[in-house]
């Protein structure tokens, strides 16, 4: 059984399989494995900042009403996150938003849930409140103090620090509980793990995610966002609408390639040997390798189930 606070601790522990990082990493010879993790606050636009670190990107709204954070990485980094937030403002954390249930975005919930109400899609609370399985690995439920206390089905608005934060559910994309957050005045969008900037994404098929759903959600975002929007991805640098369009193009084209090969009766191993055009080589250098992305596409498009490694 894996303790939830250890979910996805070290992003490069097993680069071939992103979610295999739920396995607790080996101790680092007498040194706290998180000592070297540093948080740098980067101004995105308007009242919005981004905190990096070792896991999912954290969005921060700072202003007269206080502080709102989007995602909270993992529990062992909570005090470092607090210090980074305090460098921006002495105000209190008033709200915590979860973009989805994965532990590299919600692992700090127990710590921050003691400070402020947690808001998330209703499926996030459902998944966090019971034991989950991700690629054959068991993830424990969070205790009650780490669960969202405000949930919604489709969307909600938070009027905070002089602007509307529109929180919108995107069905069956990265998971079945994803939300994007749009800042009306700052012109910033936090897309959570719908968007791995410049890299193949992890699509959690066991948690209700799907390739078609993710592609549709990204297309809808492209249609809604303004040309000069600043985008906080779940993983990767602050991005532009052009970056999101390139990501959407990748989703469409790699899906077509795999689907065409499936139509010829090719096995997943055959498709992996053939691979993708050279333009997508760099996309497989992140958390998700090219082989794993092909497996995901094959499984999602065919409805089959590939046994986890």
Give residue-wise pLDDT tens across range 179-226: 999 999 999 999 999 999 999 999 999 999 999 999 999 999 999 999
Phi (first) and psi of residue 94, to 5 degrees: -100, -30
Q: Is the pLDDT of residue 46 over 80?
A: yes
Mean pLDDT over residues 253-257, rounded?
Answer: 98
For residue 307, the SS3 value is coil
CA angle 158, 163, 164 (to 5 degrees): 35
H or E element at residue 80? helix 78-86
Which band of pLDDT confidence, cut at 50, 70 and 90, is reported for residue 228? very high
Which residues, including other chains, have CB under 8 Å from residue 267's CB and lie 6 or more apart?
A: none
Hey, what CATH topology would domain 4-193+216-239 get? Metallo-beta-lactamase; Chain A (3.60.15)
What is the tens place of the pLDDT at every residue in 74-102?
Answer: 999 999 999 999 999 999 999 999 999 99
Place of tokens 């101790």: 27
Cut 0.75: pTM above it: yes
- What are the domain boundaries of the chain? 4-193+216-239
- Per-residue confidence at 309, pLDDT binned at 50, 70, 90? very low
């Amino acid at each position: 059984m894996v303790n939830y606070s250890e979910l996805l601790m070290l992003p490069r522990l097993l680069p071939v399989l992103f979610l295999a990082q739920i396995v607790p990493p080996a101790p680092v010879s007498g040194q706290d494995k998180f000592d070297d993790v540093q948080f740098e606050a980067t101004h995105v636009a308007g009242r919005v900042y981004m905190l990096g670190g070792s896991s999912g990107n954290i969005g921060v709204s700072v202003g007269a009403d206080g502080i709102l954070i989007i995602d909270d990485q993992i529990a062992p980094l909570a005090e470092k996150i607090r210090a980074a937030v305090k460098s921006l403002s002495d105000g209190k954390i008033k709200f915590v938003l979860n973009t989805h249930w994965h532990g590299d975005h919600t692992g700090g919930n127990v710590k921050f849930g003691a400070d402020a109400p947690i808001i998330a899609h209703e499926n996030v609370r459902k998944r966090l409140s019971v034991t989950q399985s991700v690629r054959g690995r068991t993830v424990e439920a969070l205790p009650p103090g780490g669960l969202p206390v405000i949930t919604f089905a489709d969307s909600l608005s938070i009027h905070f620090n002089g602007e509307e934060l529109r929180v919108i559910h995107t069905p069956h994309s990265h998971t079945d509980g994803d939300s994007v957050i749009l800042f009306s005045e700052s012109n910033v969008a936090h897309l959570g793990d719908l968007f791995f900037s410049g890299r193949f994404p992890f699509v959690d098929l066991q948690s209700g995610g799907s390739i078609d759903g993710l592609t549709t959600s990204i297309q809808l975002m492209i249609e809604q966002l303004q040309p000069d929007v600043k985008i906080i991805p779940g993983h990767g640098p602050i991005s532009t609408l052009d970056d999101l369009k390139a990501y959407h193009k990748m989703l469409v084209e790699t899906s077509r390639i795999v689907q065409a090969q499936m139509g010829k009766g090719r096995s997943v191993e055959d498709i992996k040997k053939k691979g993708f055009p050279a333009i997508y080589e760099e996309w497989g250098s992140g958390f998700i390798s090219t082989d794993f992305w092909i497996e995901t596409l094959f499984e999602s498009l065919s409805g089959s189930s590939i046994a986890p490694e």
